């Protein structure tokens, strides 16, 4: 609808600011997790302090059953999500600096071949530097991390 709207410089169209996005394809094969999600790309933007993770549904997702519960839930009944992405920035000593957990899609609506991008935003304290990003998937009800097909519980990205 707006063929000239996307270019390297920002511009405003109908009150929305549009800009060309950075989309860097990770070299090599995607990294797949045991539940059927594969990480396609991981891009860290140091100025914005964001980590963009692009995911693809590579096979029928292996997800916990969705329980039907009342709202509000009864006492001691978990009513939260069953899959989240964790993303953490670590300093040069491998110590935790800041993190962001979440998954902003309905996992039960995803189908084979679906692709989505997850953006994690970090706020680094002044004078604090991050050297590495670590990220992966986990079940927040149990706290158990989802392993990759090569049995890793997280992936690592050296920051620029």
Q: Cis bond leading into 72, ω under 30°?
A: yes
- Tally Cβ neighbours within 10 Å of residue 75: 5
What pLDDT is stored for residue 65 in this prediction?
Answer: 86
Beta strands at 155-158 and 115-121: parallel, antiparallel or unpaired: unpaired
Mean pLDDT of the chain: 87
Which DSSP symbol is given to 65? Answer: P
Length of the chain: 160
Please state, in angstroms and rounded to a whole number, the distance separating the CA atoms of residues 126 and 17.
28
Q: What is the pLDDT of residues 65-119, one digit of tens each?
A: 888 888 899 999 999 999 999 999 999 999 999 999 999 999 999 999 999 999 9
What pLDDT is stored for residue 25 in this prediction?
Answer: 42
- Edge-to-edge strand ranges of the sheet holding 31-32: 31-32, 37-45, 50-57, 115-121
Please state, in angstroms and rounded to a whole number, the distance separating the CA atoms of residues 121 and 133.
12
- The kind and range of the H/E element at 145 are strand 144-146
**Model pTM score:** 0.81
Please state, in angstroms and rounded to a whole number, the distance separating the CA atoms of residues 152 and 133.
15
Residue 9 confidence class, pLDDT cut points 50, 70, 90: low
């Amino acid at each position: 609808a707006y063929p000239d709207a996307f270019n390297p410089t920002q511009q405003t169209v109908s009150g929305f600011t549009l800009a060309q996005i950075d989309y860097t394809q990770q070299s090599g094969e995607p990294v797949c997790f045991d539940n059927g999600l594969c990480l396609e790309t991981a891009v860290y933007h140091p100025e914005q302090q964001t980590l963009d993770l692009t995911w693809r549904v590579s096979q029928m997702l292996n997800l916990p059953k969705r329980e039907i519960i009342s709202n509000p839930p009864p006492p001691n009944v978990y009513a939260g999500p069953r899959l989240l992405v964790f993303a953490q920035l670590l300093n040069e000593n491998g110590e935790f600096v800041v993190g962001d957990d979440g998954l902003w899609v309905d996992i039960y609506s995803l189908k084979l071949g679906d692709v989505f991008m997850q953006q994690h935003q970090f706020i680094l304290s002044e004078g604090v530097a991050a050297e590495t990003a670590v990220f992966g998937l986990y079940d927040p009800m149990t706290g158990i991390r989802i392993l990759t097909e090569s049995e890793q519980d997280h992936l690592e990205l050296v920051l620029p």
